Amino acid sequence: MTDLHAGFAIALLRAAAPPNRENLVVSPWSVSAALAVLAPGVDEAARQEIERALAARPVTNDLVAELTADATRIAQHRVPGDDSVLAVANHLWVDELCTPVPGFVGQLEDWPGAALRFAPIRVAPEQARAAINAEVAHATRDLIKEILPGGSITSDDRAVIVNALYLLAGWLDHFDAAQTADEPFRCPSGTRDVATMRGRREAGHARDDWEYLALPLGLDLSFEVLLPPETAPETSPGSLDAALLFDLRRQAAPHHVDLHLPRLRVESRSGLIPALGALGVEQVFDPTLRAVRGVVAREAMYVSGVFHAAVLRVDERGVEGAAATAIVARTVAALVAPQVEMRVDRPFFLLVTHRRTGAVIFLAYVAEP
């Protein structure tokens, strides 16, 4: 797997984590894609910040090609009889009184699900917001009904970049719902019973201080669980680091696992400007630098908001998830194995990744299933 994907994913999860220990899910792929779509429209210094945050490859060629190829490969990797699906949209919304820069639109067309949309952002910002939200809801099968909260679009805004994705991926070996039963889970708020799936699986497994499991999903995806040690102090999204993940992946070997896995649904929404600032992306957010110059003709802009939402559901059939990232640009003028048992009975981390490329589609910290 490509370590760079996971490195950005973990850095994003840590940077976006709230101060309290609660569920958090992000789509590093969605955030990466939205930033990579924006990058050709910003000044060179701002583009370099984005490249460094996304693990230092030229955003305008290699990364675009890699992320686009990820989506294409995942979507096309279908097994007969499997109803798994990955649907991706990359849309540029522009105020109907403005002209988008042709070169920027041309690069957008290289992305899967690319589209140029016009909306009355300047004269009817709430109407424009509703239109963008409606399209995201459609793209995510109504799992994300609103990516832009009330008041997030104003008459000073000129463009919005939106990435949205929907994933449905089944287990290659489904869990038997008849085996699901309540089992204790040690939440930060106290131990309580949660619906827990159970099954014997041959899977990649490692146990050092942490415990690791990798199960195959449809679309050539992998479902990875990282369970902190029993004796660990209170866990949080900041407990995970990239070196630990890479080491556990290297140690993993086939085992017959008696698995106890909570059925769960986690969802999060975040404003990502502070998190991206912590990752070194700063210039696009500074209205005095006018770094966003290549998106709309004759408009020097800055990014006034980065909104992200993600939903992830895990049950006996598999994984369903959706994510959306919206970047709002505002005009400057207005400013075999051995046998083991694994009980996932305390806060843990999970990833949904593409096995061949390592692209991290979802990364979650589950404290309260």
pLDDT of 338: 76
pLDDT of 54: 85
Token pair listed for 44: 């060179």
Across the chain, the runs of DSSP E, i.e. the strands, are 24-26, 85-95, 114-119, 157-170, 181-187, 190-207, 211-217, 221-227, 253-262, 264-271, 301-314, 318-331, 339-343, 348-354, 360-366
pLDDT of 84: 82
pLDDT of 1: 39
pLDDT of 67: 55
Sequence-ordered list of residues with C-beta below 8 angstroms from that of 138, at least 6 positions apart, any chain: none
Domains of the chain, earliest start first: 3-170+266-331 (3.30.497.10), 177-263+337-366 (2.30.39.10)
CA atoms within 13 A on the CB side of 177: 5
Token pair listed for 96: 């109907």
**Long-range Cβ contacts of 175-184 (<8 Å, 24+ apart):** 175/199, 175/261, 175/315, 175/316, 175/317, 176/316, 177/316, 180/263, 180/316, 183/260, 183/343, 183/345, 184/345
Buried b (16+ CB within 10 A) or exposed e, 1-18: bbebbbbbbbbbbbbbbe
Tens digit of pLDDT for each residue in 56-81? 454 444 555 555 566 566 655 555 55
Tens digit of pLDDT for each residue in 262-289? 999 999 999 999 999 999 999 999 999 9
Q: What is the pLDDT along the chain (369 residues), one digit of tens a residue?
A: 356 578 889 999 999 998 777 899 999 999 999 999 999 999 999 999 998 898 745 444 455 555 556 656 665 555 555 678 888 999 999 999 999 999 999 999 988 899 999 999 999 999 999 999 999 999 999 999 999 999 999 999 999 999 999 999 999 999 999 999 999 999 888 999 999 999 999 999 999 889 999 999 988 889 999 999 987 667 888 889 999 999 999 999 999 999 999 999 999 999 999 999 999 999 999 999 999 999 999 889 999 999 999 999 999 999 999 999 999 999 975 444 578 888 998 998 999 988 767 788 889 999 988
Q: Which residues pair with 171 in a beta bridge?
A: 217
pLDDT of 334: 46
pLDDT of 267: 96
pLDDT of 19: 77
Amino acid at 202: E
Nearest to 159 by CA among 110, 200, 108: 108
Residue linked to tokens 């598999």: 318
| Interatomic CA distance for residues 33 and 26, integer angstroms | 13
